[in-house]
Amino acid sequence: MLLNRAAVSGTASGTMIALAALAARYAAGAARADRSWPAEIEAGLRDLGEVDEVSILPLVERLTRDGSGLAGEPGVSYLIRAGHTQVLFDAGLSGGRQGSALARNAPCWAPASRISTRS
């Protein structure tokens, strides 16, 4: 009986040590990311210029409203307009295939955006 309690106690303390080590590793990684982020990101954000108008149009999201006629899939696609510049941000899983939600939703937004849905 005494051996069982010692074994359980040893297992519990070993688990606590492992959790403390993981927490310390996480904290060190988070601190390293916080230090490196400004140098990596801010360096690329120079001379962006100014625009009078910015719009972000969601084209694909995971969840869609019933009866909307829009298809959804894991990931997102946004049409970002800034001044006279348009950028399609597509982080969906379909890769622009014929049957993708982006291609199926195109008739709803393509005429207004003057963007071709062909590759």
3-state secondary structure the chain: CHHHHHHHHHHHHHHHHHHHHHHHHHHHHHHHHHHHHHHHHHCCCCCCCCCCCEEEEEEECCCCCCCCCCCCCCCCEEEEEECCEEEEEECCCCCCCCCCHHHHHHHHHHHHHCCCCCC
Domain presence at residue 29: yes
Residue 13: per-residue pLDDT:
81
Radius of gyration of the chain (CA): 25
What is the pLDDT, as a whole number, of residue 116?
47
Q: Which residues touch 74 (CB under 8 Å, ≥6 apart)?
A: 62, 92, 93
Confidence of residue 5 (pLDDT cuts 50, 70, 90): low
For the segment 85-97, the average pLDDT, to the nearest whole number, is 75
Whether residue 40 lies inside any domain: the answer is yes
**Shared domain check, 107 and 58:** yes
Q: pLDDT digits over 11-70, tens only?
A: 778 888 989 999 999 999 988 888 877 766 666 656 667 888 899 988 888 788 787 878
Range of the domain at 86: 54-113
Same domain, residue pair 9 and 23: yes
Is the residue at 5 inside a domain? yes
